[in-house]
Structure 1
Amino acid sequence: MNLEETLADYDFPLDESRIAKFPVATRDESKLLVLNRNSGQITDIAQFKQIESYLVPGDVLVYNETKVSKRRVFLSTPRGRIHESVFIESRDPEGKEWICILKNRKKLKLGDVLFPSASENHFCIYSGNEGDLSILQFKEKVDEIDFEIWGNIPIPPYLKRMATKEDEERYQTIFAKQLGSVAAPTAGLHFTESLRAKLEGNGVQFLPVQLQIGYGTFQPLNEEQWQEKKLHKETFEVTAETATILNGARKEGRRIISVGTTSLRVLETIFEKENQVYVAGKGETDIFMSPGDIIFSVQGLITNFHLPRSSLLLLVSTFVGKELTMKAYHHALEKNYRFYSYGDAMLLV
């Protein structure tokens, strides 16, 4: 990291009208910007499915198979006041204590009782705060099955709307398998089953990893996080089969392309630079990368257009450099690309 740089160097003006509030009619028909890291050339592609022209037999696309949980739950007091919440993670093995983002918490007192609106059998106790997060204590275990009954898909707050039935399908990727995230790995939203089949028919290989995405992905960085390179922790898992295939592809000189920044975080976490190998395993990662660091694990990245001053924008800048990243973003603004989760995509090679 250049110590003379600040987060302000990774800011850009973005009118709210440029934020995609809804997805395009068909997943693979969003626009695609292709950026060549070596030449700096930018190419505008009308539809994402034309990405096949930029992929070759032997390429390996690594996707995040996480599935978004219905963690946005409307809690009510005995008198009927509603508190919107997003459950982040359980704090104990029994699944009784949860931390969450809780709206209007100043109106609550310690020990107040809250009921999930769709439940007659469960209730929780408001047990205080930790910074921007709140602690809720349940009498009985709460798990993903409960959230599927009580909750709503936690679409990003910047969409400034309630989730619809369509979001339950469209805010999940075709790869979604393992419940546990509060946000979608948005680069994967551009793929359809037909596009995947076509690419596989062309000799492109798809490999899964898993990262449970936390709400921190939506939060702008502050200067302290920037200087100390501290980021929120997220749980990941990579199977032995995936690691073996990745190592074989690397030895054969095949390109490994990350489908999204979440997959890239996993790959950089499990890649041993000293031995130049991927190591299977599971655990937590708080990896933070910014320009000046070197990404060793991939040769390409598919990604959406991210928030200003965000860790995801810094990760993209680490891969292609700050100047090229900002060049691409300003080009996207000029060419009316759609931004954020339901927006258009970039291929960086």
Structure 2
Amino acid sequence: MDRRSDYLYHLPEELIAQQAIEPRDASRLLVLDRSAVKLQHSHFSQLPRYLNPGDTLVFNNTRVIPARLHGHRESGGQVELLLLEETADLTWDCLARPAKKIKSDTRIHFNGDMDAVVLEEGEAGRRTVRFEAANQAETTVEMFWDWLAKFGSVPLPPYIHREPITADEERYQTIYAKHDGSVAAPTAGLHFTPQLLQTLQDKGIQAAYVTLHVGIGTFRPVEVDNLADHKMDEERYFLNEETATILNRTRNNGGRIIAVGTTSVRTLESTIDQDGRFSAKSGRTDLFIRPPYKYKGVDALVTNFHLPGSTLMMLVSALADRESILSAYQQAVAEKYRFFSYGDAMLIL
């Protein structure tokens, strides 16, 4: 089970969701009960039926930034930047295309009187750039973020084969998104509506929040068959004192900790200590969860369907066993579930 080929499955192209459905919780929900090894077909709006008073749902409240930018070099050549991470005020690590044309000291012009100057070249199209106002005016961080909100576009995943539309600005964002920093949405959270959150609260199911800023590595394919040779990208996470208190209380009272999405999983498993306790913590994680990993901080998982052979297939296979996951995916394909970011969801109990 330590080979990429162990986590492949056949997925017809037409099952990859290209649009979000409305309302958010109208998506389907495939429920895998590990104790009974059985599947149930449901809808996301029915999620409260499967949870108990005293359980805690853990949400990732990162916010997707409008990270895709189109500009031009002084020669007129077109340039695309995908912002990855802010490394200092007005300075960003990014992916640049066409990379071979974008060297150190290249100045890139954007609409809205903003320029970017390339400070450093990295591998695989990575560049470090600094943004500054084109009119030589002093550039503030607030000015930059206002500009980005107007001229950046939603960084839809590569398997969504269309240009972003206005609706994506709201739909490719969870309703509880709070902290800017992601280049991809924590997609399991896209299914929640205000009404559903209220229903869960009324049933005695608590909400807790962590932050993990999703990086471009979430789309990076595993390029080796031997998984021991795969290196995960680091991502920044934050778990505060309030959340730690809620999680510890949940465990003490016999409730379940239910992660909403694989990013919440990685945060929880990166912050729990050897004694099974949570405390406020922040840092960077490159945790690679795959069988035979034993979960310490997560009892159940709400998640979308994942790409064949991806590290996320391996993560869910460590919670349920690989055979159960592949069988569930086979059933989802047969029942024509919608896959990936704008697709349907799965609940692993």
Tell me the TM-score normalized by structure 2.
0.93
Between 1:253-262 and 1:216-225, the stretch displaced more is: 216-225
Q: Distance in 2 between matches of 1:323 and 1:133?
A: 38
Residue 106 (structure 1) aligns with: 100
Identity of aligned residues (%): 39
Q: From 95, 102, 122, give the equivalent of 1:129.
A: 122
Are the equivalent residues in 2 in contact too, given 1:172–1:184 (CA < 8 A)?
yes
Aligned residue identity for 1:347: L
CA RMSD of aligned residues (A): 1.8
Q: Is the 8 A contact 1:187 1:345 kept in 2?
A: yes
Aligned length: 341
Q: How big is the shift at 1:219?
A: 1.2
Aligned to 2:135: none
* Partners of 2:334 and 2:319 in 1: CA distance: 23
- 2:8 maps to 11
Give the TM-score, by structure 1 length: 0.93
Which residue does 1:150 correspond to in 2? 151
Whether the 8 Å CA contact 2:4–2:225 is kept in 1: the answer is no
1:44 to 32, 35, 41: 41
Distance change >3 Å, CA 111–CA 300, structure 1 → 2: same
Contact in 1 for aligned 2:118/2:127 (Cα 8 Å): no
Task: Return 5+ residue gaps in structure 2 as ranges.
Answer: 133-138
Displacement of 1:109 in angstroms is 4.4
Taking the aligned partners of 1:310 and 1:263, their CA distance within structure 2 comes to 17
1: CA distance, partners of 2:148 / 2:10: 37
Structure 1 unaligned residues grouped into runs of 5+:
none
Distance 1:233 1:332, change over 3 A: same
Distance 1:164 1:286 in 2: 33
Residues 2-81 of structure 1: matches in 2 within 5 Å? 2=1, 5-45=2-42, 47-81=43-77
1:290 correspondence with 2:290: yes
Contact 1:73 1:152 in 2 (8 A): yes
The residue correspondences of 1:198-347 to structure 2 (distance < 5 A) are: 198-223=199-224, 226-228=227-229, 230-272=231-273, 274-347=274-347
Measured after TM superposition, the shift of residue 25 of structure 1 is 1.8
Distance 1:225 1:297 in 2: 27
Q: Deviations over 1:144-198 (max 9, x none)?
A: 4442233011111110211110000000001101111101010000000011111
> What CA deviation, in whole Å up to 9, does each residue of 1:225-246 have, x standing for no partner?
8214531111111110110110
What is the alpha-carbon distance in structure 1 between the residues aligned to residue 7 and residue 225 of structure 2?
15
In structure 2, do the counterparts of structure 1 residues 317 and 132 end up closer, same or farther at CA, with 3 Å as the change threshold? farther
In 2, Cα distance between equivalents of 1:145 and 1:232: 29
Code of the aligned partner of 1:102: A
Q: Distance in 1 between matches of 2:103 and 2:188?
A: 41
- Say which is worse superposed, 284-293 or 102-111, in terms of deviation: 102-111
Cα distance between partner residues in 2 of 1:144 and 1:231: 29
- Write the letter of the residue equivalent to 1:162: E
